[in-house]
Amino acid sequence: MLSEEIKEFLHKEALNRFLRYVQVWTTSDEHSNSNPSTQNQLALGKILASELVDLNLKNVVHDEYGYVYGNLHASVGLEEVKPIGYIAHMDTSPAVSGKNVKPVIHKNYDGSAIEFASNPDIKLTTEDSPKLTGYIGLDIVTSEGDTLLGADDKAGIAEIMATCAAWNKFSELKHGPIIICFTPDEEIGRGTLKINKERLPDFCYTLDGSEMGELEFECFDAWKAKIKFTGLSVHPGYAKNLLINAIHIASRYLSDIPDYESPEHTEEREGFYYLSELKGNVEEANAILIIRDYKEKNNQKRMEYLRKLGELYEHRYSGLKVNIEFLHQYKNMLRFIENKQQVVDLGKKAIEMAGLDIKIHAIRGGTDGSKLSEMGIPTPNIFSGGLLFHSRKEHIPTLALQKASEVLIYLAELWISA
């Protein structure tokens, strides 16, 4: 088991790095056609590549697409051990501002509501995040409330970097070959779009989960629907039987999607439709929905519903055109991992060795591991420790940063004899 000295080092190292990384603006942009989608992601990549070199990783590359790769050579005598990969993403969700993040540490959390210095209209309570009741006495990190925090996924990055720092400092920590990869644009579904598969080993782990102890190897089957409504503009004073108000009709169409199948009314294994964007005018309106379920056949039913609804609206409003484009974003990773049980079993054991209860959850979302597993590299998802991701109320206990780092060290030890 790890010494108290190593644990204290991991706690301090991961926290300090996390507090630095979240202040680098890395919001991704799904409307961009560039790779990475935003140039500011390159700033964090440059920092991480430099730090990997300082930690004695080899073959460190920060490529033109924003990916950062690095190889940690095996401990002496362990060169033939099967290599494993640790992956985290650099971008933050465009759902909430990630610019000028100012992290705040709330010392010795007492269970009361946490207030935000830059947003007095919101408070973080145990009703928002019931897991907080188990974190009383711990230090909790939030933003000031005018931005998200960025624990998704800069916590994962900090944990990987802290683990590399521990391997660099403590020679008694043994490991086989380790491959590190930091990706851009995961939040917009492009985290593996330009990834160099040749740089990755046969098995990887993403550090992109939520509460301490969590291990995930099942996720949503994910689709995106882009719906274009084309109408006809006519002066409203003379519009009877002529005007086709695209944005008004789009609003009605979207209101006909079952309310009980929205994210705010679903949980556990229930799928949903999620309207992420609606914009336009009288002549043209465009909506973006994401469609999620653990079973692809259920998503096919949802897509068929949208098609039939479009046909109904074209019939109801003569001259209206409804064009729907569906994009399959990623598949449920379970089908690619369930026959590779070793990668899951070692993850479970490493979490137990860190003194945590194992929490097996199906991800109500996806990770880079979803696509990597589909590409033939089984990649379960380990907790990074944050809660209420994509929110101004996003938070993380500092202990989670340490515990995730411990899990990575134990995982590397377990793979020595795998």
Q: How far does the chain reach from its first CA to its final CA, in angstroms?
A: 18
Strand partners, 222: 292, 330
- How far is the CA of 186 from the CAs of 28, 233, 367, 370, in angstroms? 8, 39, 7, 11
Cα–Cα distance between 390 and 187 in angstroms, integer?
A: 10
Residues in the chain: 418
Active site includes 267?
A: no
3-state SS, the chain, equals CCCHHHHHHHHHHHHHHHHHHCCCCCECCCCCCCCCCCCCHHHHHHHHHHHHHHCCCEEEEECCCCCEEEEECCCCCCCCCCCEEEEEECCECCCCCCCCCCCEEECCCCCCCEECCCCCCCEECCCCCHHHHHHCCCCEEECCCCCCCCHHHHHHHHHHHHHHHHHHHCCCCCCCCEEEEEECCHHHCCCCCCCCHHHCCCCEEEEEECCCCEEEEEECEEEEEEEEEECECCCHHHCCCCCECHHHHHHHHHHCCCHHHCHHHCCCCCCEEEEEEEEECCCEEEEEEEEEECCHHHHHHHHHHHHHHHHHHHHHCCCCEEEEEEEEEECCCHHHHCCCHHHHHHHHHHHHHCCCCCEEEEECCCCHHHHHHHCCCCCCEEECCCECCCCCCCEEEHHHHHHHHHHHHHHHHHHHCC
Q: Of 13, 51, 91, 152, which residue is the catalytic one?
A: 91
Which residue is catalytic, options 185, 186, 208, 261? 186
- Nearest partner of 271 among 245, 299, 235, judged by Cα: 299
Q: Is 186 a catalytic residue?
A: yes
298: Cβ contacts below 8 Å, ≥ 6 apart: 271
Q: Catalogue the active-site residues.
A: 91, 186
